[in-house]
Amino acid sequence: MRLLLVEDDDRVAAAVSALLGKHGFDVRHARSGEEAIQALLPDGGPAFDCVLLDLGLPDQDGFEVCSRIRRRTATPVIMVTARADVRSRIHGLNLGADDYIVKPYDTGELLARIHAVSRRAPLNPAGLVAPEPLLGDGPPAAAQAAVPAAQRTCLLLGRIAIELTTRRVTVDGESIVLTRKEFDLLALLAGRPGVVFRREQIISEVWRTAWEGTGRTLEVHVASLRSKLRTPAMIETVRGVGYRLVVPSAG
């Protein structure tokens, strides 16, 4: 597995590279945001399977680097930082990061998260990860027209409409932008309104892992979804169990 490590501290980078190397990773080190962007440009070699992105970079903010990476490629990005506040996590996920891990972290957790986000669609023939459109923008008009109306599954939940085939979500007719995991989480809950999904079940179905450290990531995604859907009470926390989607009452 090929991994791009974006870290300005050479000592930290050396330690992380050595650790990952022992587990079979081919690590390339970038010391700045610009160097990371250049490393992700097509060069005829194999594409990266994952990017470990430190937010404290010397030339530009790590959040901006994440945004630039996401505009160019769908390669999974894990933000690595000492910023533990929920707002920073939500901001990073909104920019397109696939996961977020806070320093200091357990090496086992880091490895588990890398493997979890790397379970993605196969590379295209050119060796590049095919970029996905921002959810909420939907596919090109021609692609939408090619999908028979009878095959378009749409869930209507009060003010919210979820188009499963186009991965498009609207609130009061206005498209909203969701990350890949946010959409998957919403679709899972919306598929069975009122049913309580256990945290372990959600993590298994959305993140394809049983790693318990993903629980915090789930909480961040739920908080982000509540904000974007403009109906916080729609996703209800069932204390000690998990979450369920509550359909708003008419009127």
- Collapsing DSSP to helix, strand or coil, 34 comes out as helix
Q: Does pLDDT of 138 surpass 50?
A: no
Task: Identify the pLDDT of residue 124.
Answer: 39
The amino acid at residue 35 is E
User: Which of the two residues, 133 and 91, has the higher pLDDT score?
Assistant: 91
Which class for 60: exposed (0-12), middle (13-18), buried (19 or more C-beta within 10 A)? Answer: middle
Answer whether 50's CB lies under 8 Å from 40's CB.
Answer: no
Tell me the average pLDDT across 233-251. Answer: 84
The candidate with the shortest Cα–Cα distance to 74, out of 117, 39, 110, 20, is: 117
Query: What proportion of the chain, given as a percentage, has pLDDT over 90?
Result: 26
Q: What is the pTM assigned to this prediction?
A: 0.55
Distances in Å between the alpha carbon of 81 and those of 4, 28, 45, 133?
16, 19, 29, 27
Distance of CA 235 to the CA centre of its chain: 19
Average pLDDT of the chain, as a whole number: 80
Q: Assess contact for 74 and 129: CB atoms under 8 A.
A: yes
DSSP summary character for residue 96: T
pLDDT band at 148 (very low <50, low <70, confident <90, very high): very low
Looking at residues 186-209, what average pLDDT do you find?
85
Q: What is the dihedral of CA 113, 116, 121, 124, to 10 degrees?
A: 40
Residue 27: predicted pLDDT: 95
- Tens-digit pLDDT profile for residues 42-64: 777 788 989 999 988 888 888 88
